[in-house]
Chains A and B, each alone.
Chain A
């Protein structure tokens, strides 16, 4: 990692202020990035897109039954980092990940590790709701079907119902399960995608700005849902909204130009940030 500040500037093409540049070079993360009961542990993760480095030595844990939120200005690498956690970056040409990411002690970037069961354990909800062009029922049943999780139609029905129930969608759709998932409203579609993820019983759920395409009411419902889901799952959520991070998460990580600047209890980050950049961002000086 012998990259000069200038090169880094050129590559990321943002933040030309000399003051910021000198500060962002202090790569050590402020705060404690470990969790008490870690489910996923990441150490010194670098991500490269071709010759461009998008993530720079990030270490972060995701603990059991907690919601970790990742905030930061656009292009800071928080989504990229999130996509590393279930190897969704595999589908992008020229993407390279180094460092260590472990799920329950198992290295997930091990050459011979199969991403299929990994993704069954680490589910993901995307920025834009992306229900399959199938019926609501089939959307939820998709995961259980491909993994062969149920043995009978009745079992599958039950699993679909309980997943929709957990996603808070059951009451709204129980009479029209055979209608296309794309016909739902945006918020409902996003909850359908959450139900779809829950249906394969993952241990970790990754959420990439799940509310950015939704209106405030739908956002409020999803946020409530995230809080409920915490009881059974570990959740990592990327968000643009600091209020959302403050509302749903226990811990918050602040990313800046590929670096993890600061991690800490959400309360502490928002009330008493230790790092200048964090403070600037939270007080709305940029971003």
Chain B
């Protein structure tokens, strides 16, 4: 918790800087009566000093947190006896380092503690302590230095307000760039790891192979020792579950949007619409629980009654529940686009003697079609990327099947399975998750871009 103390101390330094800067400005102008000779209000001089005291120090602290661990770790690694590292995969080294860190912080250690590891852990703890103290010193020094700089710069001619404002603007620009940094971070992290994966497994095998069994055997003589990374069964599984979901969500969502927008009396609409939208606010893990414990057994029992052999983790159960989840998504987007169709279209149709349903089917839906299609594409991208429902209710076995009563697995399920639990960062098994993640990201990105541009074009048409 030292970091939080430091932040509190830093905030106090900033408050002090504000106070001093303000007083200094008033004094430099020649007292309270003379403050109109200042360029800006005294509080801006105070803010200026506070920013100089706080911002560089905070930045330094952030950098320190970001890189302290890496530096300390590399120092410790360099000091480890060479025979511990020789001939070990980088994954093993990672595990050893993990042990050292756990030992140093007093956590549970997986392996037996050798003297070398103990020594390294002691060194790690020592270095971390030193680094911590050094950070305190450095951060406070920078804070005080910044305050002093602002103090020296304070004079009546200084354009304190403009400076403060340009700093604020700069901060806002930085904040808005975080969106780009996030995308960049996503792309870099998945692309980089996927690249390493594709060095081990050819992309051809990954995208066209039909056999998926990523478990790499511990001993070379075990069956399936190499693991197989043909992702086609995952893609078909994902598609099937999404398709079932859309078959549930699109008709129900669209028809209920139409009914609520065109037919329902106002009081029915004002109750039914928010109630259906409640479905959108329920966490996916709840749907997963519902699918796994209620819907899947129900479908299995019904299937047994009908003499069908239904897997206990059938694609149908996961797809049905995912469809329920997506209903409000489809219905609220459809509601938006249906309401965007101008009343004059309806009037034109009624004036020709069309009934309400003829108007809806032949005029409103065709007019709203681009918007509806855009909404459905967004929903599809939702379904493809949905994780918890399929993790809990779809299976793990990568069957290449077209039978919705069978168990299938999906891209997201496999990402979760491959990455949960202890992992070696460099095995093909772990990296495969990133290759799947890259595929998922690209597919949903393309769907989203197309959908958003269709919806935007549609909106412009009636604006």
Contacts and interface: CB of A to CB of B under 8 A. Distances in A.
Asked if the two chains touch in their complex, CB atoms less than 8 Å apart, one says yes
Interface of A: 86, 88, 91, 93, 115-120, 123-124, 126, 128, 130-134, 142-143, 145-147, 193, 196-197, 200
- CB-based closest 7 A-B pairs: A120-B353, A124-B351, A130-B344, A119-B353, A143-B352, A130-B348, A133-B367
Contacts of B342: 130
A216 B353 CA distance: 31
Given A91-B346, A132-B345, A133-B367, A126 B353 contact: no
24 contacts: A86-B351, A88-B347, A88-B350, A91-B346, A91-B347, A93-B266, A116-B355, A119-B353, A124-B351, A126-B351, A130-B344, A132-B345, A132-B367, A133-B366, A142-B349, A142-B362, A143-B353, A146-B352, A146-B353, A146-B355, A147-B353, A193-B348, A200-B352, A200-B353
A78 to B, nearest CB: 17
B138 interface: no
B362 A146 contact: yes
Contact of B352 (A133, A134, A197): A197
Nearest to A121: B353
B346 A88 contact: no
A126 B344 contact: yes
A88 B349 CA distance: 11
Given A142-B362, A146-B354, A132 B349 contact: yes
A132 B354 CA distance: 13
Chain B interface mostly: helix
Interface residues of B, number: 19
Given A126-B344, A128-B344, A133-B367, A88 B353 contact: no
Interface in B336-371: 342, 344-355, 358, 362-363, 366-367
Which among B346, B352, B366 has the greatest number of chain A C-beta atoms within 10 A? B352
Contact of B353 (A117, A128, A132, A134): A117
Contacts of A146: 352-355, 358, 362
Given A132-B363, A132-B367, A134-B366, A196 B352 contact: yes
Nearest to B358: A146
Given A91-B346, A124-B347, 11 more contacts: A88-B350, A88-B351, A91-B347, A115-B353, A123-B352, A126-B351, A130-B342, A130-B345, A130-B348, A142-B352, A146-B354
Q: Is the interface of A mostly helix, strand, loop or mixed?
A: helix
A234 B229 CA distance: 76
Contacts of B344: 126, 128, 130
Contact of A91 (B350, B355, B362, B366): B350
Contacts of A86: 351
Nearest to A86: B351
Interface string B197-210: 00000000000000
A119 B366 contact: no
A132 B367 CA distance: 8
Contacts of A115: 353
B342 to A, nearest CB: 8
B371 to A, nearest CB: 12
Which of B351, B352, B353, B362 has most A Cβ within 10 Å? B351
Q: Which of B348, B354, B363 has the most CB of A within 10 A?
A: B348
A224 B352 CA distance: 23
Contacts of A128: 344
Given A126-B348, A142-B362, A116 B353 contact: yes
A151 to B, nearest CB: 19
A141 to B, nearest CB: 11
A192 to B, nearest CB: 11
Nearest to A124: B351
A212 to B, nearest CB: 14
A142 B346 CA distance: 13
Contact of B351 (A93, A119, A145): A119
Contacts of A117: 353
B83 to A, nearest CB: 77
Nearest to B359: A146
A91 B262 CA distance: 11
Contacts of A88: 347, 350-351
B246 to A, nearest CB: 25
A118 B353 CA distance: 7
B351 A132 contact: no
Contacts of A196: 348, 352
B365 to A, nearest CB: 11
A131 B351 CA distance: 12
A148 B366 CA distance: 20
Contacts of B363: 132, 142
Contacts of A91: 346-347, 350
Contacts of B362: 142, 145-146
Contacts of B266: 93
A126 B342 CA distance: 13
Contacts of A197: 351-352
